[in-house]
Structure 1
Amino acid sequence: MQLGSVIQTGRKHGPDVWQFRWSEKDRSGRRIYRKRVIGTVQQYPNAQAAREVTTALLGHINAGASGCKITVEQICEHFEQRELRSGDSFRSFATVKTYRGYIRKWIKPRWGSRYLDEIKAVDVEAWLRRLPMARSSRANSRSILSILFNHACRYELFDRNPMRFVRQGAKRRSAPAVLTAAEIKALVDHLHIRERTLVLLAAATGLRQSELFGLKWRDVDFHRGELSVVRSIVFGVVGRCKTESSQKPVPMHSLLGEALLTWRKTCRFTGVDDWVFASRSHKGRRPYWGASILRKYIRPVAASLNIQKRIGWHTFRHTYSTLLRSVGAEFKVMQELMRHSTLRTTMDIYTKAVAPAKHAAQAAGLPFSSRWLALQMTA
């Protein structure tokens, strides 16, 4: 296993650059010397910084040599440099941030020094059970490990993916909170205009938090009664929407349109390119921070109204889906309104039957059930 060398070389024009040099053998056994420019001295101030960039490349080179092994840390570096590059539109900013977080916090500390052929499915299962996180997060850890192994197979650095034998469910321990229509009305009646407009918009459209705060006034068509969801904002970074289905227009009820017009009259930033919920402290350059509004204003009001449910921005999306079902909306219509790629997501994850609907369904089937029970007793 070779380590290669990193040297600094000059150029006729521009700053000096760092070169990585290594050797390979061709099919005849003849040694071939190669080199590659890593970057400039402005990008990497010293040899150690330049050396760190070569980790993935070195792993790829050594994997090509017979009998050489590659570690999980090396494949992580290889994956990050090729799949999680800045400016790559293949994955959203939120996805890239999530992958990096799981890799650096959970996967590297536990598996980084292990060779790929040492990773066993039963060991990963035992590790997942010990992790202090929700089942869905454990499932994410397993999925990212699987992605890393698939990446290794794609680049012919490894020949199998043992993660397909790892059992890890993502089922929640408890169902997500869903608000009733009465609870939403109570919230709306007791909130100030900014929070009231946000809650009304979230509960009446099912917009995700990133889409809610990513709205600009040009996206609101008061004449046609539609919202155009064309961007999302995650951790202050503006990017594309989660899926292609997410970008479909969202119908806007006339009452919601009136609420937005009322909010616009109180805003300082009302231009077509201004955020609908522009932050005054940032002079309109950024929208408000959703988590802060939720923590400081909405949850305290909910607690004062004796609403014991844990409320997040996604609670309103779950509520929207469930209320659509309770009024008899067709499944395909619900999928379109929720802007999901598949109907299964709408039904399995977001929609929860409310108590009145359960009682009505049970009452409708009661005569048949009674007759069946009577026949069984007399048989």
Structure 2
Amino acid sequence: MDGKQGINPRGKSIQIDFYYLGIRCRETLKLEPTKANLTFAKRLKSTIQHEIAIGTFVYSKHFPQSKNAILGSKTSIKTIEEALNDYIKSARRTCALSTWKNYYSAIEHHLKPSFGHIKLVDLTASTIKIWMGGLTISPKRINNVLIPLRTILKDAFFDEIIDRNPMDRVSNLPVRQEEPQPFTPDEVSRILAELPQQGKNLIQFAFWTGLRTSELIALEWGDIDWEQGVVRVRRACVHKKIKQPKTKFGERDVLLFPPAMNALKDQKQFSYLADGRIFLNPRTNKPWETDGQIRKTLWQSALKKAGVIYRNPYQTRHTYASTLLSLGEEPMWVSQQMGHKDWAMIRKRYGRWIPAVNKEAGSKVMSLWSQDSHKDLLNV
């Protein structure tokens, strides 16, 4: 009896070699390779092959201690769709609603249609890369779509359902950071002139506080400290739900410059007596629920009428930051006003609007070029 039959003596044991679910399996029997034991091993292999053929083979029944015992079990044939379903249920309890909705959309519109039918053990890195290459969405969106897939495959690897994680060989796509496109003072004036009064109050307040749209529409009159001249940002409205800011730095007091204060004073006639939300949709006289409502009912038409090149409403925040920085306000203070953890984001995104602290910076080194005593130093 030899290895051609898949029965191989190995010292004081016998190895059985067979294929199951397309995977080559080698199992060791702790039996001396005597003639009788080799005959037993051959019969065992025949039994295994017969059970595989008729679909009754249970790996763990024959080799309960084997690392391959999971093969053929419910977990080993678990599909991507089943894993994603489990993931999205769990994520609902741990993720913010807006994040969960993004993951749900990625799963339903991209991951399930493309990979849902594939078993976890069969998904390969090349399959994922080919799929990524055929997508027409932005690189940033592709990276976000991959998040649920990365998570379920990481879990499957840790649970030893798969031997290798294909996502270890799939990198995120490079994403180009969009440059801020702030509005000029003239453009701001033209936009405000084309808005109905309540819309004008909202957008003027946005330009002069730098608040995110989700923060703007969640503001209540009780958030205004008239004596201190600040607005206390404590919540946001995301997907029609009130939530706390993502980080503790998002909770902040923002100084109210005169244009912002004037917008509030004018808005009083529309919503102050209700003692609730400050800014209302003029079409319904009810609080705004989403940023999309503002964009579609106010913003787009105002920019078109004003003859201003279209940029999204988030550029009001960029306009606020660039205006303050170009006027010489302390970057760290501007960062705090905008709800950033530190001023790294300010430096990265708005660096070109930060004036030089010392107009003569660099002049001392430049002067060396005109000094003969330093020619050797500079001749490099």
Shift of 1:368: 5.8
Partner of 1:39: none
| TM-fit CA distance, 1:235 | 2.7
| TM-score (structure 2 length as normaliser) | 0.68
Give the Cα separation in 2 of the matches to 1:297 and 1:106: 32
**Counterpart of 1:337 in structure 2: which amino acid?**
Q
> Does structure 1 residue 276 correspond to structure 2 residue 278?
yes
Q: Give the conservation status (yes or no) of the 8 Å contact 1:73–1:113.
A: yes
* Aligned twin of 1:59: none
Distance between the aligned counterparts of 2:370 and 2:79, measured in 1? 63
Q: How many residues align?
A: 311
SS at match of 2:233: coil
Say what the alpha-carbon RMSD is for the aligned residues: 3.7
3-state SS, counterpart of residue 242 of structure 2: strand
Structure-to-structure mapping, 1:197-212, within 5 angstroms:
197-212=201-216
In the superposition, relative to structure 1, how do residues 296 and 282 fare at CA in structure 2: closer, same or farther (>3 Å)? closer
Name the CA shift for 1:271/1:346 in 2 (closer, same or farther; >3 Å): same
> Matched residues in 2 for 1:320 and 1:64: separation?
60
Aligned counterparts of 2:209 and 2:71: Cα–Cα separation in 1: 51
Structure 1 equivalent of residue 84 of structure 2: 76
- How far off is 1:370 after superposition? 9.5
CA deviation string 1:308-351 (max 9, x = no partner): 1x222211122223333323344432321221235444443x42
Q: Which residue of 1 aligns with 2:98?
A: 94
Q: In the superposition, relative to structure 1, how do residues 370 and 143 fare at CA in structure 2: closer, same or farther (>3 Å)?
A: farther
TM-fit CA distance, 1:209: 1.2
1:173–1:258 Cα change, 3 Å: closer
* Consecutive unaligned residues in structure 1, runs of 5 or more: 1-24, 30-61
Q: Is the contact between residue 84 and residue 149 of structure 2 (CA under 8 Å) also seen in structure 1? A: no
Mean Cα deviation higher: 122-131 or 93-102: 122-131
Give the direction of change, closer, same or farther, for the CA distance of 1:326–1:82 in structure 2 (3 Å limit).
Answer: same
Structure 2 counterpart of 1:270, one-letter code: L
Change (3 A) 1:225 1:70: same
Q: Which residue identity does 2:279 align to in structure 1? A: F
Q: 1:353 is matched with which residue?
A: 352
> Of the two, which has the highest radius of gyration?
2
How far apart are the structure 1 equivalents of 2:121 and 2:227?
62
Counterpart Cα distance in 1 of 2:345 and 2:317: 13
Name whichever of 331-340 and 208-217 sits farther off: 331-340
> What is residue 321 of structure 1 aligned with on the other side?
321
SS of residue matched to 2:352: coil
C-alpha change, 1:123 and 1:325, in structure 2 (3 Å) is farther
The answer as to 2:304 corresponding to 1:303 is: yes
Contact 1:121–1:163 (8 Å) recurs in 2: yes
Sequence identity (%): 22
Q: Is 1:169 aligned with 2:173?
A: yes
**CA distance, structure 1, for counterparts of residue 288 and residue 220 of structure 2:** 9
Distance 1:120 1:111 in 2: 11
Gaps of 5+ in 2: 1-57, 63-69
Aligned to 1:222: 226
- Correspondence for 1:250 among 228, 245, 254: 254
Change (3 A) 1:118 1:195: same
